[in-house]
Structure 1
């Protein structure tokens, strides 16, 4: 009898764990440059879906290869009649769209390079981002035009979806919705994507961004204002946000990026809007750490130590490695 009771307890715990996981993210690229092959890109799906989308696409196929080698896709079966490898199947059948925060090369290179063997799918972005993709890359000069708009003959593999800021848009072939929130990035524009599942829970991904005070803008504050209601309802399940440089980097050299000090100052704004202690236990994935060619300490370890030293809010900071799976 006790064995049966123990089995029921274990089964209930496992079921509760699965049920409690609202989103799944897989790191295809964690760096902010200059390490080609490991540039910013995250697969994301809701617990209600079996399909993924990509949040930026700096590294795609190489990230899929690393993830497969680590066993991250072991639970996904390739149909017997599929002509593709596991990597090919993931790219062509399981990834249902790209969300591009801005058109800098370290956020789009993987998508561009893999496009000849990719399947038809949408590219979601602000109108200015999509225009930059068609003008600068898919233009028959840098690369063939795999889009449905832009210069020259259109191969129509990718369909541009222009997102209106602060409006919910359904995400094709998933049960998610997305809201685009503009960011400032060294005077230019970037994007935060707020993803919502059928339960009304949300996950937010930040493209490159500088702090409001340095950017002389209110873009970050606007994001916090949109997120605060979800924090109060305990429906913000996680954040992916960049910290490109250590605290030793002066403001004039940030070029639209964050440091540990600036990240904590920005997150303090979210706590002010949501209530004291509201960020305790919040999962915050630290991305886009710049790879360094210099001898000495690893920037990732320095940033980790600097964040831990000033983390007085009980935030759960996560430092992803390429190919790993995270649940939120």
Structure 2
């Protein structure tokens, strides 16, 4: 583990629309494994084959010599991949068929799923069905409303389908029958990676999932009544809402509609664990802030993440921030903006991590200051910054073939030390302090470093206005960095581009 990146993430689609060629899609692999069969997972598939083709062709075009069959990529996000074909599209088909072992879907909205539907027919039944892993409610929606022989052919291996896909229904919160210790509840995702899924909320709607029937049913008679203050259905489709109705736009609706008439739109957060190093990342689907949610669930994710942050095991979070702070809460439609994301990360920062105070270096070297970071920033020519965890991973920087090393804080304890390291006397002393001063100003303050130091936060699912102005991600990133510094979080924020490879 000494210094090497544990994960590589390739961002195929970084946006939340409206362009269909760049909506959400990531590839994740363990750097301990080669580009072999079943060595990669896709997380969401709004963009899948199109993103792979675009990324491959860009890297192949930058190569000085023509790519021949059997050549190995020497630059770009797919460095180290042996190409069985000559063209980008043929090699992309190979990656989809052979290299990607499973597709993890956070929720069944089209901007996270459409690429999978369109791409699936090129799969070959002889290679076995491609696994689609998700919560039961998401599998139900995919099965009943997409691969249903109406919207799209039934290409699954259920109900007499073509057998190109197979469904893996994940246990929310992790399957307790799998794993042990730090990986309790995790299931095998692909070679080298384990995963655990926690549900999060993505707004509210009138469709409720019933586990007994595995179907979604409309709550009440109709979401649209004769109330003149309510938006017509066609207004929703042009407002980039992902089909989520925002009751905050109609005060009379909020007052007159019983709370139990609404259902939560379920989304997911995947904890992805690298078996070789014990490191983890979290990839969120679309998510709303707990402060506005009908069914707040984010805190549970942060409670699971907090000891991993304190141990240095959690290296990065991929999370949406769809709009800038000019967007009012009623217009977020189950999404985040900078003020809400900072509030959520502040919850994570304020949770007890139980990090031990006086820790000796793990390798016997000189002790590192508690203020040192595992990730540093470097100013680029255009005035931006790039993290050490993604050095030379931008698709436009192909000067090195190997993924970068990480700069580790040698005082970072193991996860076991974080969970069990404090003595009972120390814990009682800390609990007494917490009652007087609050969680955030005790354990974390004693570290003399900001609570989320070393954690990289990558922003995805940004809604693009398709205007002549600067990219919306520029303003979102500026607001996040300013507010994150003011909140004393210590994490670093990045907005990746489509086709960018990130080593973490």
Distance 2:340 2:462 in 1: 14
**Counterpart among 26, 34, 50 of residue 10 in structure 2:** 26
Distance 2:197 2:350 in 1: 23
Contact kept? 1:30, 1:288, Cα under 8 Å: yes
**Structure 1 residue 182 corresponds to structure 2 residue 191:** no
Q: Which moved more, 1:48-57 or 1:100-109?
A: 48-57
**Counterpart among 270, 278, 290 of residue 193 in structure 1:** 270
**Structure 1 residue 101 corresponds to structure 2 residue 106:** yes
**Counterpart among 59, 67, 74 of residue 47 in structure 2:** 59
Q: Which moved more, 1:37-46 or 1:299-308?
A: 299-308
Aligned 1:91-170 pairs, distance under 5 A? 91-119=96-124, 120-150=129-159, 153-167=160-174, 168-170=185-187
Shift in Å, 1:216: 3.4
Q: How many residues align?
A: 309
Distance 2:156 2:5 in 1: 35
Shift in Å, 1:173: 3.9
Distance 1:24 1:180 in 2: 20
Contact kept? 1:22, 1:237, Cα under 8 Å: no
Match of 2:30?
A: 46
Contact kept? 1:58, 1:107, Cα under 8 Å: yes
Shift in Å, 1:295: 4.5
DSSP-derived class of the 1:193 partner = strand
Runs of 4+ in 1 over 6 A off after TM superposition: none
DSSP-derived class of the 1:44 partner = strand
**Counterpart among 460, 484, 491 of residue 287 in structure 1:** 460
Match of 1:251?
A: 329
1:199-229 CA-partner distances (Å, limit 9, x unpaired) = 3221110000000011133311000001111
Shift in Å, 1:131: 0.5
Contact kept? 2:197, 2:270, Cα under 8 Å: yes
Contact kept? 1:70, 1:324, Cα under 8 Å: no
Aligned 1:287-306 pairs, distance under 5 A? 287-306=460-479
DSSP-derived class of the 1:264 partner = helix
TM-score if structure 1 supplies the norm length?
0.89
Contact kept? 2:481, 2:492, Cα under 8 Å: no
Q: Which moved more, 1:129-138 or 1:306-315?
A: 306-315
Distance 2:323 2:483 in 1: 16
DSSP-derived class of the 2:457 partner = strand
Q: Which moved more, 1:69-78 or 1:33-42?
A: 69-78
Distance 2:187 2:302 in 1: 22
Distance 1:87 1:294 in 2: 31
Shift in Å, 1:42: 0.4
Contact kept? 2:187, 2:196, Cα under 8 Å: no
Distance 1:69 1:235 in 2: 34
Q: Is there any run of 5+ residues in structure 2 with no aligned partner, and where?
A: 60-76, 175-184, 205-264, 354-443
**Counterpart among 318, 338, 343 of residue 260 in structure 1:** 338
**Counterpart among 302, 307, 316 of residue 492 in structure 2:** 316
Contact kept? 2:11, 2:498, Cα under 8 Å: yes
DSSP-derived class of the 1:70 partner = helix
DSSP-derived class of the 2:335 partner = coil
Distance 1:80 1:265 in 2: 48
Contact kept? 1:126, 1:163, Cα under 8 Å: yes
**Structure 1 residue 204 corresponds to structure 2 residue 267:** no
Shift in Å, 1:106: 0.3
**Structure 1 residue 69 corresponds to structure 2 residue 74:** no
1:93-122 CA-partner distances (Å, limit 9, x unpaired) = 111111100000000011110000035211
DSSP-derived class of the 1:49 partner = coil
When the two chains are superposed, the root-mean-square deviation of aligned CA atoms in Å is: 1.9
**Structure 1 residue 327 corresponds to structure 2 residue 327:** no
